[in-house]
Amino acid sequence: MRLFSKTITAYAHCDLPCGVYDPAQARIEAESVKAIMEKYQGNEDPVFRTRALIIKEQRAELVKHHLWVLWTDYFKPPHFEKYPELHDLFNRATKAAGAAGGKGSVDPAEGQKVLDLIAEIDKIFWETKNAA
């Protein structure tokens, strides 16, 4: 009868909460966003530019996703106590990847801002990993 019982849906960054987290996932996507912005600036072909915008927005959404996973799943209250700037840092990074930056701009300088914020998160992340 268990086979026919109601199921409960669980959500995690993967199908099995593995405990494997790394800001590199967000950084790689953010590097892609910045590179696409640079290619967009160097190409006048409207078809290429349309494709570039679509791909850039998809990658920027993945940046936000990977940052949210770190923010909500990896970092715990003791981390936020030790690094009180962490909430603000994640907030600024996800906004910079979103409509205010990565998704809403084709300026490579905006892409670099996201990378700089991810680098700050990365530094704190590795401090917490090395302390464990």
Residue 111 sits in a domain of what CATH number? 1.20.120.400
Residue 87, in any domain of the structure: yes
DSSP-derived letter for residue 99 is: T
Rounded to the nearest integer, the mean pLDDT of the chain is: 89
Nearest to 128 by CA among 64, 62, 63, 70: 70
Question: Is the CA virtual torsion 91, 93, 95, 100 positive or negative?
Answer: positive
Instruction: For the beta carbon of residue 119, count every other beta carbon within 10 angstroms.
Output: 13
pLDDT of residue 102: 79
Note the pTM of the prediction, 2 decimals: 0.85
The type of residue at 48 is F
* pLDDT tens figures, 35-90: 999 999 999 999 999 999 999 999 999 999 999 999 999 999 999 999 999 999 99
Runs of H (alpha helix) within the chain: 24-41, 46-69, 77-82, 86-97, 108-131
Residue 12, in any domain of the structure: no
Q: How many angstroms separate the CA atoms of 71 and 24, rounded?
A: 14
Residue 9, in any domain of the structure: no
What residue numbers bound the domain in which 109 lies? 21-131
Number of domains in the chain: 1
Most confident option among 18-27, 50-59, 96-105:
50-59
pLDDT of residue 26: 97
Question: Do residues 36 and 52 make contact, with C-beta atoms less than 8 angstroms apart?
Answer: yes
Q: How many angstroms separate the CA atoms of 9 and 124, rounded?
A: 32
Q: What share of the chain is helix, strand, coil (3-state, %, to 5)?
A: 70, 0, 30
Residue 5, in any domain of the structure: no
Residue 75, in any domain of the structure: yes
